[in-house]
Structure 1
């Protein structure tokens, strides 16, 4: 749908809300934004008064045409950019954006294959865009999201993802602390968890995995052991400060 724009675009913060104790949702008005496909990302640039510039990449939570771009930013303890975006950026402030970027880690409504999404922590952001695109298109393709996070309090977009649509389901997994009465004790995802909570290889799903490098590599290895073809698995690792 969209093609990357050349050069940097001026973006103004028009809305912000707290996602978790350490994360913030940010919506920017970008008059020349061309729209984005579900799963794409962008570069964000900050320029200090002395001319110093810092650039970081962020997944895009919004999807489709329009001049507003939604991001979700996690404050990293030793971060250079994320603390400013989470704690200091105010409505009306400007940043620069370049994008949308990426054409591999995307989902488009024309694809009718079953879809399995597996997120680690803030790696859920591109999947928010995918579930939104799925709902907007009225797609009947089965889509499942397995969302692994440390604690219940760390969930992004919980209300939205818990009721995503008739053909989309979300399963939560907790690695450090689970809610009272949860059916499984907190702990890392295992091959048995994946076999129980994800679409089987026999369904021929297209699988997307996003999260820290170690998480992505472990999940990918487990899925291939379960019989998923590497050709059907798409991965994205996130990072930056």
Structure 2
């Protein structure tokens, strides 16, 4: 069944990094969604020209409210406008929810490993928030690859204090002073310890740029992970 376009009104814009924003919309008759799903956003210019882009949902279902994570792309046609220019109270169109494979459900009983590259953390934060609101259960581990400390999204959600969440940051260009792990790309050594806490049936969710996702997925399989347990979402 083809999903209908719905009007979505921008209710709030929240900064995440210097170039990233969370956008909260109200959507009339929103049907709900699962953590990990995404939506298409359509903008229509005064001359009728339309542009459509896909954005991940950053929070579990909450009535008629949805939250999107938007990373500004240099010379982008849509992301700079959404991130910084769309007025609060203005309307866009959304279609969704989309995607039924890269999702987490509250009834899942296994420990989970989440691996994010940059803005790929957005749908994984939706899973973390859904896990937290469901009462915790089996632990989540997030391995989050970012260029520098200033590039971390959702600091509040990832801060210490959640006994059901273990966050491991892997800085690729600049690590904070005193950090034991030197700056560099995610390696099999970064994955080895988090994998030890999983069961054979535990899902591993990997999201980020295509090259990152492919490298991490290959490393997981090389480390003995069943490919059927590795779920990926990529962009770029």
- TM-score category (smaller protein): over 0.9
Secondary structure at the counterpart of residue 195 of structure 2: coil
Do the aligned residues in 2 keep the contact of 1:131 with 1:164 (CA within 8 Å)? no
The residue number in structure 1 matching 2:199 is: 203
Task: Confirm or deny: 8 A CA contact 2:110 2:198 kept in the other structure.
Answer: no
Shift of 1:86: 1.1
Unaligned runs of 5+ in 1: none
What residue in structure 1 maps to residue 137 of structure 2?
Answer: 140
- Other-structure match for 1:35: 32
Q: Name segments (4+ residues, structure 1) moved above 3 Å.
A: none
Is contact 1:9–1:96 with CA below 8 Å preserved after alignment? yes
Aligned counterpart in structure 2 of residue 227 of structure 1, from 224, 227, 235: 224
Which residue is equivalent to 1:151? 148
**SS of aligned partner of 2:186:** coil
Aligned to 1:188: 185
> Is 1:119 equivalent to 2:116 in the alignment?
yes
The answer on whether the counterparts of 2:59 and 2:127 sit within 8 Å (CA) in structure 1 is no
Counterpart-to-counterpart distance in 2, 1:202 and 1:154: 28
What are structure 2's unaligned runs of at least 5 residues?
A: none
Structure 2 CA distance for aligned equivalents of residues 59 and 97 of structure 1: 12
After TM superposition, give the deviation of residue 64 of structure 1 in Å: 2.1
Instruction: Using the TM superposition, give the Cα deviation of residue 138 of structure 1 relative to its aligned residue in structure 2, in angstroms.
Output: 0.7
Contact residue 5 and residue 34 of structure 1 kept, 8 A: no
Preserved contact between residue 43 and residue 93 of structure 2 (Cα < 8 Å) = yes
Q: Give the Cα separation in 2 of the matches to 1:202 and 1:72.
A: 28
| Structure 1 contact 5–98 (Cα < 8 Å) conserved | no
What is the rounded CA distance, in whole Å, between the counterparts of 2:175 and 2:235 in structure 1? 24
TM-score of the pair, normalised by structure 2: 0.96
- TM superposition shift of 1:34: 1.0
Task: Select which of 207, 212, 216 maps to 2:209.
Answer: 212
Q: Identify the match of residue 95 of structure 2 among 95, 98, 114.
A: 98
The CA distance in 1 between the partners of 2:189 and 2:111, in whole Å, is 20
Partners in 1 of 2:161 and 2:89 — Cα distance?
A: 31
Contact 1:109–1:139 (8 Å) recurs in 2: no
Would the aligned equivalents of 1:121 and 1:211 in 2 still touch at CA under 8 Å?
yes
Distance 1:133 1:193 in 2: 25
More displaced 10-residue stretch of structure 1: 136-145 or 229-238? 136-145
